[in-house]
Structures are given as structure tokens and as C-alpha cells.
Structure 1
Amino acid sequence: MDAPLPPDVVKEIVTGFSHLVANKYYVLASTVMLVYDHMLTFERERVHVWNKRKSLPSYLFFIFRYLTPIVSLINLIALNDPNWVGPTCNHWIWLPVAVGPIVSAATGIILILRVYAIYQQSQWILYITVPIYLAELGVMGVRESHAVFV
């Protein structure tokens, strides 16, 4: 019979498991909120975006608007399906890793454009929101450059 695990190892395992469960709930909640937001705003999007002349910003809007829930759903499935291991995981793992920073950056831009539109395209809104957004990107870049991978 094997010796029992030391208490510090048991504590690390329990902590890791609780973090995994919290992450699963976080991904589930954020995916549900994202899909709910899409459902709430779909009619306005159809009227104000789909019926307008197509331009680069509108195409980017469509890509980022619909790529995000697809990646979120794939991530949700991957976190909760025990069969997503080995080759299946290796086949899909690049998607959230590659798309995540792009979608995060695009989300900031979309939010700035939304606030800009709410304030009737007043330039002073851009003078406030763009520097805050650039500072956020800078902080994220510094954080990522000091990341510790386990």
C-alpha cells in the first residue's frame, strides 16, 4: 500500500481542482452572457449594420462579432468534454490561443465605437477612451511578457 500524500501536496491538488472548477464556471457564465447579449442586440444590429453599405469596419464588426462566440463555444466544449485530449486537443488548442488576443483587442475597439456613437460622435470621447484603451493594451503586454507558464 502506498504512503498517503503529504498535506501540502493534498492542499495543492485541492486548490488546483477548485481553480479548474471556478474556470469552468467562468467560461460557462461568460459564454452565456455573450450569447444573451447577441440575442438582445440582434434586431438593432440587423437594422443598423446589416442594412447599411458594407465597409471595412462593418466587415470587421461581423468577423469579431461572430468569431468570438464560436471560439467561446469551442472553449466551453473543450473544458467540459473529457474526450478533448491528445490529438483532438492539439487540433483545436491554437484557436483560443491565437484568436484570444485579437478578439480582446477588437472588443476594446468595438466598445470605444459604441461609446463614441452613444455620445453622438463627440471627439472628446475619443480623447478619453483611446488613451485608456492603449494603456490597457500596454499593461496587458507587460503582464504577458512576465507570464510564468506551468
Structure 2
Amino acid sequence: MSGNSTGLQLPHSLDLPPHLSAHKYFLVCTLTVAAWDTLVLSPRTWRLFKSPGWPVLKVLFHFMRIFMPVEFTIVAVAFFDTKWSRDSCQKFYLFEPICTAILLAAASAVHVIRIHAIYEKSRNVLFAMGALLAVQVVVTAICCGFYRSVPLLDGQGCIAGPKENWVGIYWLAPTLLYTASFALALYRSFQSLNVKPLGYWKLMLRDGLNLYGAIWIVNMVNMLFWFIMKPTDVSDPVKTIVTSMAAVLTTSMTLRIILSIRGDLTYGGSFALSHSSAPSTSRTTHILSTRSNMNTGIASHAPQYTLEDMRGKGEGDWSSGELVTDNKNNSLGAGEGEIVRDAANGVKITTDRQVRYDQYPGAK
């Protein structure tokens, strides 16, 4: 124990080893991020809540939005409460690893659904990502049984730590899934450049690659702490310093992945390129001219149809539906999609032609 110059001994809650002190500061940062995230996303959360329907991604979004801040608020109370007894900690310490496993499973399910969607519902992608999710759920569930209460002094808080170094596979399993998610999202985005060239910065923002990258980075940093950092003794919590921050940032970025999806969330939405290149409809009229019978002086009278009219008529219905004309054979009030008989111009057919909206330089 360290004391001051007057020989007074500091209480255990203030006399902290370096790694434990760093752990507490890091948890304060984690709580700040969680509170900031809850506040900033509140307007968008409310708009999403009011949107019609409850697809899986919407349910997962609201679950994580509530579950994450509640979990780490409870964890913080146990960690910072100087009156938390060792007996209470022995009953409580599994709370964080179990709740974090549930939170990570929800976040990983979002990645599986989204990556499956941007690959046009590919079964191979679904099976690969689904297998990683299944492994993650099983591994994290098993590893929860190999946590222990870190033997801190009274007043220093309650922390869960691993019994063995291999328990780090608890975080290795989701890290593998987020690595695959980031790689597949990156590959899909670069594939789209063959269809529509785009600057890398705009590509990153359009497809949310920064979100996938942030999740991957924070989980890889957590891996470094788990498998490289060496604790000084059994009461050193250095391995778990980053775990809370990794869980909060993974959840925060995953929520933004859901919010960045354009259009309906059903089945994971669609790839952004399909929206940027969505076709718009323009009307085009094609004239099929007919010749008058010069010998008899009889001209063929041909109607005007749109393709919608053609689709709606059977073979025997083409003689029905005629626009009223005057005695000079001029149409009166001919509108789009109406049938017009005009001996001078022959057959007029109005068609729908699909054009790329973004092929024009001024298109927004």
C-alpha cells in the first residue's frame, strides 16, 4: 500500500494499481460513448420506430438500443460502488460476460442479414456467415462458464476476468465474423466500381465501409489485449480493459449500419448501387405508318395504344374503346393512353422506355 507524506493510508477505493486505474478510466470513456450514442441517435430512433412494419433488423435495432446502455450502467454500478462486497461480486460477476454475449449475438445477426442482402440473397454467403454466427453463439456460451471474479480488495469494485488465457476465444469468435463481414462488404463495394465508377471517399460513405472498418479495428485491438498483454498477478485486469469499449462501439456502429440502409429493412434491404442506378420512366411515341390504298382511295384507320393498354387487352379486344372524332376525322381531346383513329398519320403506339436516371450529367 502506498501512503502520503503524513503517513496516512489511502482507502482501497483510491489506492489502485496502474492497470486497475486504467480500467476504471476506460469504463468512464465507455459510459460516455454509450450516453452520447443514445442521445445522438434518439431522433433517428424515433423515426424508425414510427415507420410501418417490424422487420428483423428493426427489432434488433431497438433491442440493442435499450439493452446496451442498461447493461453497462449496471456494470458501472458494480465497478464503482465502493460498498459492493466480495460476496455480492461472487453472485454478480457473470452478468457482464453473459449480457455481452447476448449483445454481440444480436450485432452479429445484423451483419449476417445485411451481408446476405448486399450479395443479392446468395445462399453461399448466408451459409458462411450463418456458420460463423453459430460458432460465435456456442463459443461465447461455453466461455461464460470459465470466467471468475477478479480478486480485488474491498472498495475496488467487481470485475469479471478469465480463468485461463484460452478464454479469449470468447472474443475471437465474433472478431472472425466481423472480419468476414468487413472483407465481404469491401469486396462488394469494389465490385460495384465496374458498374459505376466512384471516388473511394464517396464509396466508403455510400456503403458504410467506415462502420464495418471501425468494428473490425476495435475488435482487433481487443484481441491484442487478450492474447499479448501479460497480467502482473491474478488480480490484474489488464486483459479485460478494452472489452466494454469493444462491445459498446460494436453495437454503436452496427446500429448505424442499420440506419444507413436505404429503403425497406425487410430481408436486410438492398445494395446501395441498386438505388443510385434506379431507372426512371419516360414516355416515347413510335409511329407505324401505313399507306393509303391509292387504287381505291380507302385509307386504313389505325388506333393509338400504350403498352399498358396492350397488356390489358386480349386478342379479341382490340376493336373496343374508340375516341370520339369530328366529321373531319380529327381527334377531340386525345390524352395519353387513349385510343385515337387518325387516317393521316397511321398507327401511333405510346411505349414506356426505361432509362438510367444517372446517365444525364445534371441528374441529382
Normalised to the residue count of structure 1, the TM-score between the two structures is 0.61
CA distance in 1 between counterparts of 2:60 and 2:37 reads 18
Return closer, same or farther for 1:52/1:28 CA change in 2, 3 Å cut-off. Answer: farther
Q: Does 1:97 align with 2:93?
A: no
Deviation at 1:20, TM superposition (A): 0.7
- Counterpart contact for 1:71–1:96, Cα < 8 Å: yes
Give the ranges of 4+ consecutive aligned residues of structure 1 lying more than 4 Å apart after TM superposition: none
Deviation at 1:113, TM superposition (A): 7.6
The correspondence of residues 1-150 of structure 1 with structure 2, limited to 5 A, is 17-110=17-110, 112=111, 116=114, 122-123=118-119, 134=132, 141=139, 146-147=166-167, 150=234
Say which SS state the counterpart of residue 17 (structure 2) adopts.
Answer: helix
* Structure 1: 5+ residue stretches without partners: 1-15
Deviation at 1:82, TM superposition (A): 1.2
CA distance in 1 between counterparts of 2:112 and 2:25 reads 30
CA distance in 2 between counterparts of 1:51 and 1:22 reads 42
Deviation at 1:45, TM superposition (A): 1.3
- Counterpart contact for 2:48–2:58, Cα < 8 Å: no
CA distance in 1 between counterparts of 2:103 and 2:49 reads 19
CA distance in 1 between counterparts of 2:107 and 2:26 reads 18
Return closer, same or farther for 1:69/1:48 CA change in 2, 3 Å cut-off. Answer: same
Look up the match of 1:7.
Answer: none
Deviation at 1:97, TM superposition (A): 2.2
CA distance in 1 between counterparts of 2:35 and 2:26 reads 14
CA distance in 1 between counterparts of 2:36 and 2:22 reads 21
- Counterpart contact for 1:35–1:69, Cα < 8 Å: yes
Look up the match of 1:5.
Answer: none
- Counterpart contact for 1:24–1:76, Cα < 8 Å: no
CA distance in 1 between counterparts of 2:25 and 2:105 reads 24
% same residue: 17
- Which has the larger Rg? 2
Which structure shows the higher strand fraction? 2
- Counterpart contact for 2:68–2:103, Cα < 8 Å: yes
- Counterpart contact for 1:27–1:76, Cα < 8 Å: yes
CA distance in 1 between counterparts of 2:59 and 2:37 reads 19
Return closer, same or farther for 1:50/1:113 CA change in 2, 3 Å cut-off. Answer: farther
Which structure shows the higher helix fraction? 1
- Counterpart contact for 2:64–2:103, Cα < 8 Å: yes
Say which SS state the counterpart of residue 53 (structure 2) adopts.
Answer: coil
Moved more, 50-59 or 69-78: 50-59
* Structure 2: 5+ residue stretches without partners: 1-15, 144-164, 169-233, 235-364
Number of positions where the alignment pairs a residue of Structure 1 with one of Structure 2: 125
CA distance in 2 between counterparts of 1:38 and 1:113 reads 24
1:63-103 deviation per Cα after TM superposition (whole angstroms, max 9, x unaligned):
22211111111111211111112343244323212111121
Give the root-mean-square deviation of aligned CA atoms. 3.8
What code does the residue aligned with 2:106 have?
Answer: A
Say which SS state the counterpart of residue 107 (structure 1) adopts.
Answer: helix
CA distance in 2 between counterparts of 1:17 and 1:66 reads 33
Deviation at 1:56, TM superposition (A): 4.3
